[in-house]
Amino acid sequence: MPKFKPEIQKFIFPVSVDPVIFSIIDNQLHVLLVKRTHGVFNGKYSLPGGLVSQEDTSLENATARVLSEKTGAKVNYVEQLFTRSGHDPRGPTISIAYIALVDKQSVVSNAVWKPISEIKNTSLAFDHNHIIDLAVKRLTDKVNYSTLPMHFLPHPFTLPKLQQVYEIILGEPLDKSTFRKKIDETGVLFETGEQIKEGAYRPAKLYSLVNDIVFNFDSNILKSSPKP
């Protein structure tokens, strides 16, 4: 039998939460990582995960607690990605992965944002490269048929900024008029009555969310956008 570390010995099958936290920085999709400073995979980057405590009232509560402890981040959105056997060399575990969005301003200095393009060429701790690959696929699929990108932006925001987030994640341009019609049909945004000037363009209207619910479209946003 493997020799467990003290924190592992408290549980028969320790349960870990492994959140993949996304953000858009410099027009690129990024993931939040922390550098391990002790134990297995010392010196390697990993997702800011941790073990579920007996004091946690739910898995979502455990995820929020772990993120707060390791990064200082405040969770704005969280969605479970999968539950499966973990890949921890210290012993058998159950790994529960999440997709999460956080308030970027709340993240402390010991956590770093890494672009997806860089992570692909970086060996992370445990099986975190694979978890991120799955999370990116889920994110792309979900963005294609939902209003999730609205949770990437600070409120209020403009429709051009929102369209830009969709295009960065999907990796394809969207037709402006079709995109706006699609967003309009959801009814999840309201005009704040304010405007902001972005670059050389005329002032753009500012919008905010009616509520925090992620709305699903009735059709794929890429398929409904005409190709040039």
Domain ranges of the chain: 6-143, 146-209
Residue 171 CB neighbour total at 10 angstroms: 9
Cβ neighbours for 117, distance < 8 A, ≥ 6 positions apart:
28
Which pLDDT belongs to residue 70?
A: 87
Which pLDDT belongs to residue 1?
A: 41
Cβ neighbours for 189, distance < 8 A, ≥ 6 positions apart:
150, 183, 207, 208, 209, 210
Which pLDDT belongs to residue 65?
A: 92
Q: Give the CATH number of domain 6-143; options: 3.30.70.2190, 4.10.640.10, 3.40.630.30, 3.90.79.10.
A: 3.90.79.10
Which pLDDT belongs to residue 84?
A: 85
Q: Give the CATH number of domain 146-209; options: 3.30.365.10, 1.20.210.10, 1.10.10.10, 3.40.50.720.
A: 1.10.10.10
**Alpha-carbon gap, residue 132 to 97, rounded angstroms:** 9
Q: Could you report the average pLDDT of every consecutive run of 10 residues in the chain (228 residues)? A: 54 85 94 89 90 90 90 87 81 89 78 93 93 97 95 94 96 94 92 86 91 88 62
